[in-house]
Amino acid sequence: MRDAAYNIKKQIGHFLAPKVRLIIENLPDELLEKTEEIRLRHSRPLIIFWAGGESYLSEKGPVPTPREAYLTDGEDLEKTLDLLSNYSLYAYEEELRQGYLTIPGGHRVGLAGRAVLEGGRIKVLRDISSLNFRVARQVKGVGEKVLAFIFDRRMGRIMHSLIISPPQGGKTTLLRDLARLISEGTGILGQAGKKVGIVDERSEIAGCYQGIPQLDVGFRTDVLDACPKAEGVMLMLRSLSPQVIITDEIGRGEDVNAIEEAIHAGVSVIASAHGSSLEEICQRPILGGLLLKNYFERLIFLSNSRGPGTLEMIIEGERGLPLYSSRQGGE
Amino acid sequence: MYLKFWGASLIILAAYFFGHNISSMYRNRVCQLEELLLGLEMFLTEITYGLTPLPQAFINIGKKLKDPVGRLFSDTAWIMQKSRGLSARECWKKALKNNSGALEFFGGGLELLDRLGFIWGKGDKSGQLRQIALMQELLRQAHREAQQDYQKNEKMWKYLGLLGGLTLVIFLI
């Protein structure tokens, strides 16, 4: 059995209500191999999604129309939630507030339901009516090409880099692989790996379950899971002496301040941000301000044009010189 | 003559124990409701200070409470760990069924026990605390009623058993 299919059946299947689990387990491996999401919605058809497509599922397997599909009911959702929370939703208050939880294997389960507010902010989600199982995939080796551009051979250091792409563009996958490569040391680094600190606010990079990384982020890597970026970066600097700090989706003022602190402390920073072009990023008040200060030495652009994680362009931060373009294919 | 004496004694003893058994049902109900209330109090502590997962909390509670209420909690935890795919409600119901012979929750108490199954592990912490507080209130009410029933019926059933046995013996002789 292939990796992803095995993971879905064993790791995700373990948390599904029996009826849904049976349907998923009976799917052909070829279909599971490309599955990215499994969607359970109250009184709605059971659907799986993959890049560029979706399948409605019934007890007999994939069916062409939603009418023939298995309708997920309240009991399926109740049982799945019981299994996900080990019958203890009260112990997952923070996850219910954030709207997701992580399961072994680093897979994430998105939740939707009725939001209970306190002081205008979400306090907790109740009456959960939708569950979205997002299959975690580690693509080893995707960072090798980028690493060659962000490693300063002369100084033996990693350059401050910002990875920019639209949602689902492969930022997190690239960050994870860069963490692994830098932590373990590769031929390109030509030396032992470096101490890496990951501030993983949404548990996406390392896919931690109960604080333990479920995905390979290297053996010299420390992960601060579910920790706000600003606080996490400062904590890393104070107590874990990282040489490289990796974090995702920066955008708030306090994130930027913490990143400035790290850069001034001599720690290399690799971060990611949503966006599709340099112009768009520059127009954003906080992120644009950070770019104007020329802290980032490398800007890496990804897209979905030839599948998630397509490396479009790498430019030199200060002067804006293109170092790599997918059209030219090299430096 | 000896035969008659032993026969009469046996009848009186059997009738006495029959009455005694019924009266002890009322006493057991009071004790078991007290144990259940104690169990809920322990559960509140488990989730307030430790956020202990439900199966582990039930194991802890089961160890501290007297049987059969303690066993009800332990069995529920065991079913949760062994039978993947059952909801908390179904696990509780199954454990209730396994222990129904020893539980004396007749009347309103039985319905309350059943209702408990619907709240275990449901909702966030504050929601769970509220639900448990409500159940505690209902169980306290049931406990008060059970105590009144016990005081009213305990002696009556003991005497009824003894007197019933004596009456039967007089009729037979």
Here the ipTM equals 0.74
Say if the Cβ atoms of B51 and A87 lie within 8 Å.
Answer: no
- Pick from A79, A89, A96: CB nearest B85: A79
What pLDDT score does A328 carry? 63
Lowest mean pLDDT among A124-138, B37-51, B148-162: B148-162
Q: What is the pLDDT of residues B82-118, one digit of tens each?
A: 887 888 889 999 998 888 877 776 666 677 888 888 8
* B166 occurs within a structural domain: no
What pLDDT score does A284 carry? 84
Please tell me if residue B122 touches chain A, with a CB cutoff of 8 Å: yes
What pLDDT score does A1 carry? 47
State mean pLDDT over A294-320: 86
- Pick from A18, A87, A96: CB nearest B88: A87
* B168 occurs within a structural domain: no
* B11 occurs within a structural domain: no
Average pLDDT taken over every residue of chain A = 87
Please say if the pLDDT value at position B37 is more than 80: yes
Say if the Cβ atoms of B51 and A88 lie within 8 Å.
Answer: yes
Say if the Cβ atoms of B125 and A90 lie within 8 Å.
Answer: yes
Contact residues, chain B, for A124 at CB < 8 Å: 124, 127
- Pick from A14, A75, A90: CB nearest B124: A90
What pLDDT score does A209 carry? 85
Say if the Cβ atoms of A126 and B123 lie within 8 Å.
Answer: yes
Is 3.30.750.210 the CATH classification of the domain at A144-325? no
User: In terms of CATH architecture, what is A3-134?
Assistant: 2-Layer Sandwich (3.30)
Lowest mean pLDDT among A297-306, A308-317, B162-171: B162-171
Contact residues, chain A, for B128 at CB < 8 Å: 89-90
Q: What is the pLDDT of residues A131-150, one digit of tens each?
A: 999 888 888 888 989 999 99
At B38, is the pLDDT very low, low, confident or very high (cuts 50, 70, 90)? very high
What pLDDT score does A132 carry? 93
* B46 occurs within a structural domain: yes
For chain A, the domains span 3-134, 144-325
Q: What is the pLDDT of residues B119-141, one digit of tens each?
A: 888 878 888 888 899 989 988 98
Question: For the whole model, what pTM was predicted?
Answer: 0.75
* B48 occurs within a structural domain: yes
* B122 occurs within a structural domain: yes
Q: What is the pLDDT of residues A246-265, one digit of tens each?
A: 998 888 888 888 898 999 99
At B146, is the pLDDT very low, low, confident or very high (cuts 50, 70, 90)? confident
3-state secondary structure chain A: CCHHHHHHHHHHHHHCCHHHHHHHHCCCHHHHHHEEEEEEECCEECEEEECCEEEEEECCEEECCHHHCCEECHHHHHHHHHHHCCCCHHHHHHHHHHCEEEECCCEEEEEEEEEEEECCEEEEEEEEEEEEEECCCCCCCCCHHHHHHHEECCCCEECCEEEEECCCCCHHHHHHHHHHHHHHCCCCCCCCCCCEEEEECCCCCCCCECCECCCCCCCCEEEEECCCHHHHHHHHHHHCCCCEEEECCCCCHHHHHHHHHHHHCCCEEEEEEECCCHHHHHHCHHHHHHHHCCCCCEEEEEECECECCEEEEEEECCCCCEEEECCCCCC
Q: What is the pLDDT of residues A150-193, one digit of tens each?
A: 998 888 899 999 999 988 788 999 999 999 999 998 766 666 78
Residues 44..73 of B with a Cβ closer than 8 Å to A: which?
Answer: 47, 51-55, 57
Residues 76..95 of A with a Cβ closer than 8 Å to B: which?
Answer: 78-79, 82-83, 85-91, 93
Q: Give the range of the structural domain holding residue B90, as residue numbers without chain letter.
A: 30-154
Per the structure, the count of domains in chain B is: 1
State mean pLDDT over B150-161: 76
What pLDDT score does A189 carry? 66
- Pick from B51, B84, B91: CB nearest A90: B51
Contact residues, chain B, for A89 at CB < 8 Å: 121-124, 128
Q: Identify the residue among B48, B54, B92, B126 best suited for mutation to test binding to A, counting A beta carbons within 10 A and taking the highest.
A: B54
State mean pLDDT over A24-50: 89
